[in-house]
Amino acid sequence: MRRPGGRKQIDPEKALDPKSAHAFAVGHLARRDFSTAELRRKLKDRGFDESAIDSALTELGASNAINDGRYGDNVVAHRARRGQGPARIRQELQRSGLGAEAIQATMAKAKEGGPDFVGLARAARARKFGPELPKDWKERSRQARFLQYRGFSTDHIRAVLEGVPDDPFRIEPGDTDPSGDPDPT
């Protein structure tokens, strides 16, 4: 009898075999990176025994085929390229089954040397609404809700909607530089 979802149930002998669980996990890892919890869930859904799953995941972890830190870094990079903010990325990491410590370490690493979330929020807002900043409160709140849905913090949203420049030391044409001399351009 077929399971819902159209997948065949595996043989009872294969369900107990750690080598079969390992081969199934490697097949999934060949397509994309998975967290340990995601891979455990996939093996369990397929019908593998818990002892076979533990053995396969231990072996994959020892060979560094699954690495939750690397997975977290990949998720941060991928979601940031898609224009999502840190709250949305954190939620994705929690949904994938990463532990609180791994999520905290990944997000701390992203904050230090990761993507510029203010720049990403500015780019996402400009793609959706155009380069002009909103003039009225109704449009401003609409754009703020959009950025909040994308996972950006209120600090990021405020910086984008108030037009705070990326570089505080940037000199606009016509401004004076810190020495008081007018800008030569």
pLDDT score recorded for residue 68: 92
* Distance, CA of 107 to CA of 89 (rounded, Å): 9
pLDDT score recorded for residue 91: 95
pLDDT band with cut points at 50, 70 and 90 for residue 3: low
pLDDT score recorded for residue 167: 45
- In angstroms, the Cα distances linking 143 to 4, 31, 118, 138, 148 are 41, 36, 14, 9, 9
Tell whether the torsion through CA atoms of 138, 155, 124 and 170 is positive or negative: positive
Mean pLDDT of 137-162: 94
CB neighbours of residue 90 within 10 Å: 20
pLDDT score recorded for residue 163: 78
Instruction: Look at the block and give the residue holding tokens 């510029």.
Output: 116
pLDDT tens figures, 41-99: 999 988 898 999 999 999 999 999 999 999 999 999 999 999 999 999 999 999 999 99
* All domains in the chain, ordered by first residue: 12-62 (1.10.10), 68-113 (1.10.10), 117-161 (1.10.10)
Q: Is the pLDDT of residue 169 over 50?
A: no
The rounded radius of gyration (Å) of the Cα atoms in the chain is 24
pLDDT > 70 in the chain, percent: 84
* Distance, CA of 96 to CA of 98 (rounded, Å): 6
